Homo-oligomer: A and B are copies of this chain.
């Protein structure tokens, strides 16, 4: 069975030494987040992940969820008990506003804690994760009485949340959606339609399930401008705030799927379910996007989380499995063979994962901190610039961390050889679980289009320019730093590749948008490499400033590995982008 140890020290190093959490004391909630408190929170999250959630990961995969004839759904053995402990620990609301029962701590802390939870048990962590997304949407868009009715219970975890977007014939293209909402004259609507792929749509963990649903109000325009967002709970909530009569929404079936078996992926049938409008009429997509941005960052964290736990298990196996002798000479003469960690090709795989994980964690943290600034700062300019960063980096984090997370789970499985292919070691589960993160919350190809088609040109490229200025400014200030120079030069080169790619789009995609579409995926990957490279530069700088211990030395070696072995890919991405769309688009549709 796989094991897991939450990377608390690494998170603290990033928070304190790289991002200097103490400099954010002016933001509401940050003053409470003293170094001691943060450490205590992370240590307790680690304990819960390692002791409670990890042992349930394989159980969840093997048992899966079961739908009964009455439409109710049972989660795997142990999930309910673990969920109760999660609620008792107050984990869902650590960053939620105090007025709704939350602790008001930085959202950044939630992202770190969620990484631990997902590493330990992704299918389980999705239940509170979806609730947090629903809380975010209600906080931003719901009327005060809806907030008062739902948020305290959701922040507590007594009730969970869901997102109901996809229908059988539409996922990416929500403009096609058919679910209908008919006004009842009393402020409520009756919602009818079928939603599919609804994670945590039905289960036995919480006293109520608060569904956020996209639907079209009778008579609304077709397309995306006629979609509204509703809240429709499983149990209608009475005047006393307690769940009462059953609403007209049931789980029709559970999907049989590749992984995340511990999470119930439901077909949800809305049959005149009573719901209330969240935000304005026909502005539902807008409201949903708030939720989706939070959710996309969260899905990026899932990619990182799976990569981390897969790495840990592969590293442990590589030190234990004896096979062959080092090509540079016997390393463990007292053993019948050397552990495979001595082989360069095994190291290549381990170092690749490690270089991805440590910088990926930094990238999430950096962006989560910007999220806190965007939500909490009193300074409008500061908020706007943080929001620019979030908008730009969210698709990159979602796309690049989930692609990389999956690839690393595959690479970690590979280190186990045939033992990775059988269920026993749990490595193949990581691969199956990690796979979904590339698909949901907008398939990664959609993230790439969002980045290139929406986020780059937005506000005249303001967000992109700010990113370039930050990295370039960082490089310029340190150009004469002897210790850092080796790390900075490759980053400067890759930044130039990103700038050339951006320029190429400006010159070639206006007249021919296919040139943007055909290069979007490579651009996202190229952007991700530069962002991770920038994180490595900052990590290396912090590591050089700290004591010369084994951990910090490890950081410096890994930074070099990243610069020498991973960053050079930016050249290939640039070449592909500059090749343009011609050969990609030339064949007629029927040639496929």
Contacts and interface: CB of A to CB of B under 8 A. Distances in A.
A587 to B, nearest CB: 5
B343 A422 contact: no
B583 A575 contact: no
Overall SS of chain A's interface = helix
A554 interface: yes
Contacts of A351: 583-584, 587
Contact residues on A (Cβ < 8 Å of other chain), bracket: 35 or more
B443 A421 contact: no
| Max chain B Cβ within 10 angstroms of own Cβ: one of A173, A318, A453, A521 | A173
A487 to B, nearest CB: 11
Nearest to A314: B592
Contact of A347 (B324, B336, B585): B585
A382 interface: no
B420 A514 contact: no
B166 A422 contact: no
Interface stretch (A116-124, A232-240, A250-258, A360-368): A250-258
B443 A417 contact: yes
A376 interface: no
A439 interface: yes
Given A327-B517, A421-B436, A443-B417, A319 B256 contact: no
Contact of A327 (B196, B331, B453): B453
Given A565-B576, A585-B344, A257 B323 contact: no
Contact of A521 (B345, B424, B449, B583): B345
Interface in A455-485: none
A438 B414 contact: yes
A443 B550 CA distance: 32
B568 A518 contact: no
A520 B565 contact: no
B583 A172 contact: no
Say how many copies of this protein the assembly contains: 2
A172 B345 CA distance: 14
Interface in A396-433: 406, 410, 413-414, 417-418, 420-424, 428, 431-432
Contacts of A587: 347, 351, 554, 557-558
A344 B584 contact: yes
Interface in A318-362: 318-319, 322-324, 327-328, 331, 336-337, 339, 341-351, 354
A339 B173 CA distance: 11
Given A258-B421, A345-B520, A431-B435, A584 B565 contact: yes
Contact of A345 (B431, B440, B448): B448
Contacts of A342: 589
Contacts of A390: none
A398 to B, nearest CB: 14
Interface in A548-592: 550, 554, 557-558, 560-561, 564-565, 568-569, 571-572, 575-576, 579, 581-592
Contact of A569 (B173, B572, B584): B572
- Sort A-B residue pairs by CB-CB distance and give the 5 closest, nearest first: A344-B517, A564-B579, A568-B575, A258-B428, A561-B583
